[in-house]
Amino acid sequence: MRRSIAARIGTCMGVTALAILSVTSCTNSGTFIGADNSHIRYVGRFDLSTPSAPRMAWAGSQIVATFEGSSCSAIIQDSCGKDSVSGCSGNSGDDYQYYDVYIDGALAKTFFAPSKQDTFVLASGLANATHRLTLLRRTESQRWAATFRGLILDNGKGLVSPDPASSRRIEYIGDSHTVGTGVECYTNGQWGWDAPGPHNVAKSYATLTSRYFGADNHITAMAGKGLVHNHSDVKMASDTTIRHYFRRTLQSAILPAWNPATWIPQVVVLNIGTNDFAEWRQASWGQKLPGDSLRKPATAAVFVPAYRAFLDTIRSVYPGVKIVCVGPYDWCGGLDSAAKVIRTAFDQEIASGEHDVYWLPYPSSQTSDFVCCHPGVAFHRKIADSLEVVISTIPGWGTTSAVAGAPDGDRGMSRPQVVGTAGDASRFDLLGRQARDLTARGVYLVRGVLANGTRRMVQVVARY
């Protein structure tokens, strides 16, 4: 349900209400709460240079508030949409700007935001009480940003202090696997790239892991990007890769640059490299495509030093951070090509005396785990399960931390864990690979995941 802005500007007690300019104003259709209200919390990379009109582009960006009353609407202008007249076209994530609405921790609805400014009803018919709202940007936009103008509540109602920011912070740096591209490409027995699926960051391993730990997150990830080589590029060294976007507030603009001092994570999960090596088999997307012979994927000689340099960049802007280095798998492209090269870089870090890095290869997989050449819902859950184990070995992260208002029942969920010995490592399979490379250098953690008593002792990880 959408209404034009003209219909939202009315008078209250004989005074014209300029909704766009004021922090709080009364209209003939409700109370307007400006985007610069101190009770609105922003999670993710937002351009706040104009406080009354913050902009967002990264998938996973969240607007959090606690409102009074029975209804809530949001005013959003998205620069690109399926019915846009601004030149967007095709089936990329740029054309599917969707948002998830969570009310009191439960998913209430998903809606699409067109390019024009509009009002979207987030909730109505609720009990006349206090409710927690999380508005989650479900999809990414690499070329366009959305502007949030504020909320409209019942007449006479307002915001109260939201749930506090979590003391735990995780940033995920990656590509389409991290942003949830194609995660719901196969839904209800149907294949397809049409909206509202298949892109859904809420079902990505990044969101699942953050909810498990009760952590706030930044998802700095873009489909198709690599560390040195972007997917399908005819040059091995692409002009603009994730290393460049890492310094941006918005994907679509070089300025304003992101100020990392404003939000320092304790943990960074680096899952990059799939696109760098996607064409090693010269048969991307499951078949040989025109121009495949022109593509120039990265080589280990170029990738390894670039990867290690990027680790140093992360360390320099986030003092004391712990970094999980992920070894991805790509059924449609380079298989484990990226993971092997990343493991080389990881081993060099360990050999040089760095002890702030943690290794995580993808769980063992099969073709059915991937849909439209991307991890499906079930495989994202497997990745999250494995990642939760590794992060649990980081000092201070061994127990989950439930936070009120989490959008999903599994935030803060506890799972059984038991510390084992080096001998245990020889008896268990590490994510589908033999654990023979785990040595006495680490602390071994054997994690049992019980599901109706059928699964136990499924993973072994090492903390270096």
d(C-alpha 2, C-alpha 65), whole Å: 21
- Structural domains in the chain, CATH included, are 2-160 (2.60.120.260), 169-412 (3.40.50.1110), 416-464 (no CATH)
The alpha-carbon radius of gyration of the chain (Å, integer) is: 23
If pLDDT is split at 50, 70 and 90, which confidence band does 115 have?
low
Q: Which whole number is the average pLDDT over 328-347?
A: 84
Output DSSP code: residue 269.
E
Q: Are 279 and 297 in contact (CB under 8 A)?
A: yes
* Contacts with 199 (C-beta within 8 Å, 6 or more apart), sequence order: 59, 93, 96, 98, 138, 139, 140, 179, 180, 181, 182, 183, 184
Burial (CB count <10 Å: 0-12, 13-18, 19+), residue 158:
middle
Which range has the worst mean pLDDT, 118-122, 250-254, 401-405?
401-405
Q: Which whole number is the average pLDDT over 360-373?
A: 81
Q: Which has more confidence, 333 or 177?
A: 177
Give me the phi and psi of 136, to 5 degrees please: -110, 125
pLDDT at 181: 84
Q: Are 155 and 68 in contact (CB under 8 A)?
A: no
d(C-alpha 345, C-alpha 227), whole Å: 13
pLDDT at 193: 57
**Token pair listed for 236:** 């091995």
pLDDT at 298: 87
Q: What distance lies between CA 101 and its chain's CA centroid? A: 16
pLDDT digits (tens, 9 = 90+) for 69-113: 999 999 998 765 444 334 444 344 445 578 999 999 999 999 887
Burial (CB count <10 Å: 0-12, 13-18, 19+), residue 198:
buried
Which range has the worst mean pLDDT, 54-63, 125-134, 234-243, 398-407?
398-407
Q: Are 445 and 143 in contact (CB under 8 A)?
A: no
Q: According to the per-residue pLDDT averaged within each range, which of 27-36, 181-190, 325-334, 450-459 is highest?
A: 27-36
Write down the residue that tokens 């989950």 correspond to.
400
Q: Are 114 and 4 in contact (CB under 8 A)?
A: no
Q: Which whole number is the average pLDDT over 448-458?
A: 29
For residue 191, pLDDT beyond 80? no
**Token pair listed for 212:** 């498990």
For residue 122, pLDDT beyond 90? yes
pLDDT at 141: 75
Whole-prediction pTM: 0.80
Give the C-alpha distances (Å, rounded to integers) separating 126 from 8, 67, 71, 435.
21, 11, 6, 52
d(C-alpha 154, C-alpha 316), whole Å: 47
Q: Which whole number is the average pLDDT over 384-402?
A: 85
pLDDT digits (tens, 9 = 90+) for 222-264: 999 999 999 878 788 899 999 999 999 998 889 999 999 999 9
For residue 432, pLDDT beyond 60? no
pLDDT digits (tens, 9 = 90+) for 272-315: 999 998 864 444 444 445 545 556 788 899 999 999 999 999 99
E strands, 19-154, are 24-27, 30-34, 41-43, 46-47, 55-56, 62-69, 72-78, 98-103, 106-112, 118-123, 129-137, 146-153
* Contacts with 305 (C-beta within 8 Å, 6 or more apart), sequence order: none
For residue 198, pLDDT beyond 90? no
Q: Are 168 and 174 in contact (CB under 8 A)?
A: no
Beta-sheet pairing, 433-434 with 443-447: unpaired
Q: Which has more confidence, 31 or 9?
A: 31
**Token pair listed for 391:** 């992060």
pLDDT at 185: 78
For residue 416, pLDDT beyond 60? no
Burial (CB count <10 Å: 0-12, 13-18, 19+), residue 417:
middle
Identify residue 313 by its one-letter amino acid code.
T
d(C-alpha 451, C-alpha 416), whole Å: 11
Q: Are 61 and 47 in contact (CB under 8 A)?
A: no
* pLDDT cut 90: percent of the chain above it: 51
d(C-alpha 241, C-alpha 253), whole Å: 14
